[in-house]
Structure 1
């Protein structure tokens, strides 16, 4: 569980070729992603959502909050977004579903704390 959450958050923190490599390695090509601000599919869709978040919060990093929980092929966890080493200003809760190869095939995201 921890490994897939680390790979997920690393993808959100990566740029360019590093992000492409992480998407290819850990995410299904047909992945679906839904949160309150976006509903996309595929690597290009995920990458566009990540670009949008990183443009809105330049220099911020995604980090785990607490411990992930999971069963079967699904994992739920909280994440934070903020300056590195500081308290996150955004906190979210995501549920990841893995495919038979252990790659991310579906993400359902929720925002628990957002700045005013």
Structure 2
């Protein structure tokens, strides 16, 4: 069964809000390939500091299941676990061959307007798993 672009986006967003560490790990393995990579365009402050010390185009990178698991767990611990925020995919996912683009939002856990978000471009393998995930925060 082929997963639609929106189903993929919804599963992706749900991963970042999953409270159970074992289920998060399993979701990562279902979504990404073993050597999949998550690349994040850093916030302006990080880019400025990196440029100051000689890194003109910094990229934050997590590669492979272990690093992906750490990345997702840290985001969960910082934003979701305290009960302050949750993440959700917006209903705008589109697919062009092996690339899916969607946007996501960080919203207060009790509901309300988005306080953050970004756009995601994911490259899929033949089985529909993510090989590369390009994240641009800052909606």
Using structure 1 for the length normalisation, give the TM-score: 0.87
Quick check: 101-110 or 45-54, which moved more?
Answer: 45-54
Residue 6 of structure 1 and its aligned partner are, at CA, apart by 1.4
Instruction: Confirm whether residue 54 of structure 1 aligns to residue 76 of structure 2.
Output: yes
1:108 is aligned to 134
Q: Deviations over 1:55-113 (max 9, x none)?
A: 33232211012411221011111100122322221111010111111111110010123
Instruction: Confirm whether residue 92 of structure 1 aligns to residue 118 of structure 2.
Output: yes
CA contact (8 A) 2:21 2:73 kept: no
Query: What RMSD in Å do the two structures reach over aligned CA positions?
Result: 1.5
In 2, the alpha carbon distance for the partners of 1:56 and 1:11 equals: 14
Quick check: 49-58 or 2-11, which moved more?
Answer: 49-58
Using structure 2 for the length normalisation, give the TM-score: 0.74
Instruction: Confirm whether residue 30 of structure 1 aligns to residue 35 of structure 2.
Output: yes
- By relative contact order (CA 8 Å, sep 6+), the higher-ranking structure is 2
For residue 36 of structure 2, give the secondary structure of its aligned residue in structure 1.
strand
How many residues align? The count is 113
Rg (Cα) greater in structure = 2
CA contact (8 A) 2:6 2:91 kept: no
In 2, the alpha carbon distance for the partners of 1:54 and 1:82 equals: 13
Compare the two structures and name the one with the higher strand fraction. 1
The runs of at least 4 aligned residues of structure 1 exceeding 4 Å deviation read none
